[in-house]
Amino acid sequence: MKKIIITRRLLKESEEKASKTFDAKLNGNDELYSQSKLIELSEGHDAILTSLTDKMDEETISKLPDSIKVISNFAVGFGNIDLEAAKKRGIAVTNTPEVLSDATAEIGILLILGACRRVPEGVQAAKESSWKWSADYLIGKQLTGTRLGILGMGRIGQKIAKIAKSLGMIIHYHNRSKLSDEKEQGAIYHDSIKSLFGVSDVLSICCPATKETENLINKETLEYFPTGAVITNVARGDIVEDEALIDALNRRKIYAAGLDVYKGEPNLNPGYLKIKSVFILPHLGSATKHTRIAMANLAIDNIDEFFKTGNCKNKVN
C-alpha cells in the first residue's frame, strides 16, 4: 500500500476513503504544518495531499524526500505550489477541477448580488434595527440589463455566465482564447482586458492566479472601468492589488466589491474594514459538503491513478 500524508483534516467520509485506499497519515487536529514538520513527516511517504493553505514553494519542494512522487492539491487552484520546482524533482502535481465549479459559481453569483444590492449594509442595519423603509433607502444596482465582465471563462466562469444571463445580465468575457459558439452561449469576447474592463459594469474574476495575473487589478487597470463599476473575486486574492482597490472604492470610482478571496488570508487588509460597500466572505467558494467530499475523492483518486498508470488526467505540471 502506498503511504500518503494528508496535511489538513478532511471530512470523515473522505478520510475513510483515503484510509481504505492508502496507508494514510491523517491530521486529526488540523494543525497547520510548518515547512520543517511537513518535510520530516514526508520521510518514507509516496505522496502528499495538500490544501491551499500549504505553501509548497521551491525551498519546501527541494527539501522533500526522493520518495515523494505526487503532490495532490485539494483545490482547483494551484498557486500555492511551485509547479516548475516540482517538475524539476520529478514530482507530479494534480488538482481537482470541475467538481467544485457549481458551488464556486454559486458564491460568484452571491458576490455579485451581495455587492450590487448592498447586502453588508442591509444586514447590519437589520440587526441593529437602525433603519426605516423609505423610497430611497439602500438603493442598489439592479442586475437586469447590467453588463457583466467575466475575466477567465473556464468552467466556473461559464457557469457564472449562464446563471447571470438568466438574471438578465449581458455577458462579456476575456479569456486566453475565444470559446466555441456552443460554450460562449452568446457572451461577447474581448481580446484584451482593457476592452473587457471598459464595458464591465460588474466584473467577476474567475481566472487562475499565475505570474501573469498577479495584481492584474491595479491602479492603472481600475481606471479602465466605467465609474461606479463593481469588482467581484471568486478566484484568488493575488490577482487584486488591495491598496489600489481600496483607494478606488474610497474615491467611488468603484461602487462596491464582493470578495470571497483576498491576499494574506485570513488576515484582511484593514483598509477594507472601513468601507461599507465591501461584501467579504472567508473563502467559501467550494464550501458545501457535497463539493468538499467530491474534491477530496478526486484528490485521492488522482494519487491512485498516478501510481496505477504512471500518469493522471488532472496533472498540471
Q: Which is nearer to ligand DGY, 92 or 105 (CB)?
A: 105
From 147, 155, 190, 283, active-site residue:
283
Does the annotation count 283 as an active-site position?
Answer: yes
- Burial label for 144, CB within 10 Å (0-12, 13-18, 19+), is exposed
Count the site residues for ligand DGY by CB under 6 A: 8
CA distances from residue 92 to 47, 196, 316 in whole angstroms, order as listed: 9, 35, 8
Q: Which is nearer to ligand DGY, 38 or 100 (CB)?
A: 100
**Please, which of residues 281-310 interact with ligand DGY by CB under 6 A?**
283, 285-286
Contact criterion met (CB below 8 Å) for 101 and 159: yes
76 near ligand DGY, judged by CB under 6 A: yes
Say which residues have a Cβ less than 8 Å from residue 168's Cβ, sequence separation at least 6: 143, 144, 145, 146
In angstroms, the CA 64 to CA 79 distance is: 19
User: CA torsion angle for 199, 205, 208, 212 (degrees, to 10)?
Assistant: 50
* 56-70 burial code (b ≥16 CB/10 A, e <16): beeebbeebeeebbb
Does the annotation count 214 as an active-site position?
Answer: no
Contact criterion met (CB below 8 Å) for 65 and 44: yes
Q: Which is nearer to ligand DGY, 253 or 263 (CB)?
A: 263
Q: Shortest approach of ligand DGY to residue 81 CB, angstroms?
A: 11
Task: Return the range that interacts with ligand DGY (CB under 6 A); candidates 73-81, 105-113, 246-254, 305-313.
Answer: 73-81
75 near ligand DGY, judged by CB under 6 A: yes
Does the annotation count 45 as an active-site position?
Answer: no
Q: In 10 A of CB 258, how many CB atoms?
A: 30
Q: Shortest approach of ligand DGY to residue 251 CB, angstroms?
A: 30
77 near ligand DGY, judged by CB under 6 A: yes
Interaction mask 216-255, ligand DGY, x per CB under 6 A? ----------------------------------------
From 118, 147, 174, 236, active-site residue:
236
Q: Shortest approach of ligand DGY to residue 146 CB, angstroms?
A: 26
- For 145-273, list the strands marked E by DSSP: 147-151, 170-174, 188-189, 202-205, 229-233, 254-259
100 near ligand DGY, judged by CB under 6 A: yes
For cell 442595519, name the residue.
Answer: 125
Task: Return the range that interacts with ligand DGY (CB under 6 A); candidates 86-94, 151-159, 195-203, 279-287.
Answer: 279-287
Q: Which is nearer to ligand DGY, 79 or 114 (CB)?
A: 79
Contact criterion met (CB below 8 Å) for 285 and 262: no
Question: Regarding beta strands 3-6 and 278-280, do their DSSP bridges make them parallel or antiparallel, or are they unpaired?
Answer: unpaired
Contact criterion met (CB below 8 Å) for 77 and 236: yes
Q: Which is nearer to ligand DGY, 76 or 115 (CB)?
A: 76
**Please, which of residues 169-208 interact with ligand DGY by CB under 6 A?**
none
Catalytic positions are: 236, 265, 283
**Binding interface with ligand DGY (CB under 6 A):** 52, 75-77, 100, 283, 285-286
